[in-house]
């Protein structure tokens, strides 16, 4: 009985997220420092001067996160093939469960090369909810009645100056648009 409700909520959040960010306005990411899957501090200082793609996931997700992560893997492979130097950042929306070792095991299911992919944790639930709302204009909620977390399914493109310049669906049909926008940033 929980799954239909959760799927409906995720669908609604996806629609709200798609409508939430004004595409004509760029949003500046404020400085952050969290912990990656290798138990290393990682944040905006590491991303300074780099283009990056971000998303929100959690390792015990029963619906959208595995396909999103598989899609991010495919996008990352395509960016490498096109010789685009882009960092990938996945923020966990379930930080009490997603400790660095859990994130490390999770990413290993999708790729054996995590050199430019940083799965982040090291904050509490309230912090990631506030961070997502304030920095990405998106919604995260972990209901008390479920171990599943409601969150955005978008991929976000952030420029070399830390500004979100666009967000996209996670499906492969968006890859050409993402790649073209990255190339424009590199001009």
* Number of other residues whose CB lies within 10 A of the CB of residue 102: 18
| Portion of the chain with pLDDT greater than 90, in percent | 82
CA 89, distance to chain mean position in Å, is: 6
Q: Which domains does the chain have, with CATH numbers?
A: 2-186 (3.40.30.10)
Q: What is the average pLDDT score of the chain?
A: 89
For residue 162, what are its two tokens? 């830390």
Strand ranges inside 65-139, DSSP E: 86-92, 117-120
> Where is 94: in which H helix or E strand?
none
| 184 vs 171: CA distance, rounded Å | 21
pLDDT in tens, 62-105: 999 999 999 999 999 999 999 999 999 999 999 999 999 999 99
Assess contact for 136 and 164: CB atoms under 8 A: yes
Split at pLDDT 50, 70, 90, the class of 27 is confident
Q: What's the confidence (pLDDT) of residue 26?
A: 53
The predicted model gives 26-39 an average pLDDT of: 92
């Amino acid at each position: 009985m929980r799954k239909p409700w959760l799927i409906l909520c995720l669908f609604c959040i996806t629609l709200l997220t798609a409508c939430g960010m004004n595409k004509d306005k760029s949003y500046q990411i404020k400085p952050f420092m969290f912990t990656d899957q290798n138990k290393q501090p990682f944040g905006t200082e590491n991303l300074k001067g780099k283009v990056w793609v971000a998303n929100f996931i959690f390792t015990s997700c029963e619906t959208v996160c595995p396909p999103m992560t598989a899609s991010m893997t495919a996008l990352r492979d395509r960016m490498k093939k096109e010789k685009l130097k882009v960092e990938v950042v996945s923020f966990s929306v379930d930080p009490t469960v997603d400790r660095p070792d859990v994130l490390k095991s999770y990413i290993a299911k999708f790729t054996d090369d995590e050199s430019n992919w940083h799965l982040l944790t090291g904050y509490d639930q309230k912090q990631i909810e506030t961070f997502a709302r304030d920095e990405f204009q998106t919604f995260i909620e972990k209901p008390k009645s479920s171990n599943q977390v409601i969150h955005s399914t978008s991929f976000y493109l952030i420029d070399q100056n830390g500004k979100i310049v666009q967000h996209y669906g996670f499906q492969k049909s968006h890859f050409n648009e993402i790649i073209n926008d990255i190339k424009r940033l590199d001009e």
